[in-house]
Amino acid sequence: MAVVLSLALLVTEHTNLKLGGIRTTLSIFVDPIKYLVSLPNTIVEQITDSATTYRALKAENDSLREEQLIHQTRLLKFAALEKENIRLRALLENSFKLGEQVLVAELLSVNMAPYEHILVVNKGTRFGVHPQQPVLDANGVVGQVFRALPFSSEIMLITDPNHAIPVQVNRNGLLTIAVGSGQLNRLILPFLPSNADIRPGDLLITSGLGGTFPQGYPVAVVDEFTAQPNKAFATITATPKALLDRNRELMIVWSKSVPVPLIAKPENQESTSDAVK
């Protein structure tokens, strides 16, 4: 009986029938275990937080304020650039993608399978998280939401052997795909020929193709390029920008998948300007 039942389950889920409901209900019983396991870590963190001295806090505060000032001034410039970009795109009759919304999620320190690069975070469908959402940190792309449960969600890192991300060389716009290698500090670019214009130190950014990841976020830096004269493709490896193994906080991003035209059609514009006159 049990064998038949489990075989039935396996087959149904393997053939991609939706069993999300069962998983969601069961996860309500199981998720407390994840929180329980990561509890010691959280407690230690809170104790170290509350035990820091006034002076350390003050120093941290000062440095953070300084950093924020720098970022603020940089953002001023970005705002102007963004406006300019919108205007230029309007000239090309192109649409502009609206900004993204982010949610900060904290890592649960659990280990699901040692040979897979999957993290668990403490935000789930209760917060509107859904599968295939991109996940970032302050330095670059971390991965994507692989499965969203009510109280937690599983995130597949870009270095997982089963993960591939469409990227673009920032210097010249060369498009390719970066595949996870199974090592936390390495991505592989298997689909570039030996004469491709790419060299160590090149920044790879998301290309926005495929629609999962928004365009323009840093992914990795190329660190090795070896031409293979007698093979079709060169071997290229890259190091992810995001600190995949040292992060506690991650950002889950909602990018508006439908491009929103910001500037109204010319006729409308004329009519409104007439009205103003």
Using CB under 8 A, list all residues that contact another protein: 1-3, 5-10, 13-14, 19, 22-23, 26-27, 29-30, 33-34, 36-38, 41, 109-115, 118, 146-147, 154, 161-162
Q: Give CA–CA dist 200/226, Å, rounded.
A: 10
Q: Name the residue nearer to another protein (CB basis): 180 or 214.
A: 180
Minimum distance of another protein from residue 121's CB (angstroms):
13
Q: Hey, what are 104's tokens?
A: 């900060």
- We find the least distance from the C-beta atom of residue 39 to another protein, in angstroms, to be 10
Write out the two tokens for 235: 């071997």
Alpha-carbon distance of 133 to 18, in angstroms, equals: 19
Name the residue nearer to another protein (CB basis): 157 or 205.
Answer: 157
Which of 146, 188, 196 shows the shortest CA–CA distance to 23? 146
Q: What is the closest distance, in whole angstroms, from the C-beta atom of residue 79 to another protein in the complex?
A: 41
Decide whether 24 or 239 has the Cβ nearer to another protein.
24
Q: Cβ closer to another protein: 15 or 273?
A: 15
CA pair distance 155, 231, nearest whole angstrom: 35
Residue 156 Cβ, how far from another protein at the closest point, in Å?
10
Using the minimum distance from each CB to another protein, give the nearer residue, 117 or 241: 117
Least Cβ distance, residue 105 to another protein (angstroms): 16
Find how far residue 97's CA is from the centre of its chain: 17
Give the DSSP letter of residue 236. E
Per DSSP, which regions of 160-217 are E strands? 164-169, 175-180, 187-188, 203-206
